Amino acid sequence: MDPLEALDRIAFLLERDQAPTYRVRAFRTAAAVLAPLSPDDVAERARTGSLERLKGIGPKTAQVVREALDGGTPGYLEKLEATAGEPLVRGGEELRARLRGDCHLHSDWSDGGSPIEEMGRTAARLGHEWAVLTDHSPRLTVARGLSPDRLREQLEVVAALNERWAPFRLLTGIECDILDDGSLDQEPELLARLDVVVVSVHSKLRMEARAMTRRMVAAVRNPHADVLGHCTGRLVTGKGRPESAFDAEEVFAACAEAGTAVEINSRPERLDPPRRLVRRAVEAGVLFAVDTDAHAPGQLDWQGYGCARAEECGVSADRVITTWGADRLLRWTGAGS
């Protein structure tokens, strides 16, 4: 087995299973350290016991490399693979099988942990026909949000990748902050060039309900908005974070009227919106996007969480835009026009 493939696969499975970041980083760092070396050089270092002399290679990752070079599946990987075939969650299997893409993922251009190319390759390996790169917008400085110039540079990078990735397509996008007055945190000219725009609240989450409602309604009615991301902002693990207060019926009615999809965010610590709001959104007649909000490659496999909740709450597959092909999706969004 190729040692780099073994290290990458272990990191993917650890991310998928929500392992601590430090553990994942050990394997991703080891893969990055070995990538520039020739296979012969890696084999020689393994033979002479000098792998651990490389900064970023520890005893556990070196053992994986040696076992891979010996021709078998490394023991640690074998252990992880033993449970990898089991679904992360029960329910939603039919919808999961119909998904063709993911409208919300991040790279190391903002607060993701992996390069654009790695996120795109992983999405393709999982069977996606397309995925949307949605790094953060400028005001979210804690997440290294993209300035207009950096976003323009990213568009060129994505275009170059797509030239050699066909038929898989990485679509251009952004997770755009909804500002206090409901306006969007990026130049309108740039938003018009993007394939998909996810709009989300990341600041002043405890704003008074009436003001938050006006803020969200203004955002989803913006002609550039395509998807309303993690609408309550809640966190359900660790110390948690309460839901933002707003008039859900008014917000979802505005989404239905404007044709802005409501995201069912699959991150286990978010699972946003909560079930009662998903059901209200169904009643309002909105479209939905079952997304991962992935910040690492292994998290791209989390859509099952969202699919299970969608099924439980009566979301029909024909109202889920992530079941559409890329051409239909782009016609719906206006293809960045």
Which of 176, 174, 184, 254 is closest to 213 using CA atoms? Answer: 254
How confident is the model over 3-12, as pLDDT tens digits? Answer: 999 999 999 9
If asked whether residues 33 and 120 sit together in one domain, one would say no
pLDDT category of residue 51 using cuts at 50, 70 and 90: very high
* Residue 146, C-beta contacts closer than 8 angstroms, at least 6 positions apart: 109, 110, 135, 136, 137, 138, 154, 174
How confident is the model over 296-326, as pLDDT tens digits? Answer: 999 999 999 999 999 999 999 999 999 999 9
If asked whether residues 79 and 99 sit together in one domain, one would say no
* Helix (H/G/I), strand (E/B), else coil: 264: strand
Q: At what angle do helices 209-220 and 248-258 cross, to 10 degrees?
A: 10
Chosen domain end from 84, 109, 139: 84
How confident is the model over 113-145, as pLDDT tens digits? Answer: 999 999 999 999 999 999 999 999 999 999 999
E strand or H helix at 283: helix 275-284
Residue 335 reports pLDDT greater than 90: no
Query: Residue 131 carries which side chain, given as an amino acid letter?
Result: A
If asked whether residues 216 and 327 sit together in one domain, one would say yes
Which of 295, 322, 309 is closest to 21 using CA atoms? Answer: 295
pLDDT category of residue 87 using cuts at 50, 70 and 90: confident
From 21-30, 84-93, 111-120, the region with the lowest mean pLDDT = 84-93
If asked whether residues 258 and 142 sit together in one domain, one would say yes
Instruction: Write down the pLDDT at residue 256.
Output: 98
If asked whether residues 115 and 41 sit together in one domain, one would say no
If asked whether residues 321 and 218 sit together in one domain, one would say yes
Which of 101, 95, 99 is closest to 326 using CA atoms? Answer: 101
Residue 337 reports pLDDT greater than 60: no
Instruction: Write down the pLDDT at residue 84.
Output: 85
Is the overall model pTM greater than 0.85, yes or no? Answer: yes
If asked whether residues 56 and 120 sit together in one domain, one would say no
Mean pLDDT across the chain: 96
Q: What is the distance between the terminal CA atoms of the chain, rounded to a whole angstrom?
A: 46
In the chain, the number of structural domains is 2
If asked whether residues 97 and 24 sit together in one domain, one would say no
Chosen domain end from 84, 112, 138: 84
Chosen domain end from 84, 104, 138: 84
Instruction: Write down the pLDDT at residue 86.
Output: 82
Range of the domain at 156: 93-333
* Helix (H/G/I), strand (E/B), else coil: 266: coil
If asked whether residues 46 and 23 sit together in one domain, one would say yes
CATH code assigned at 135: 3.20.20.140
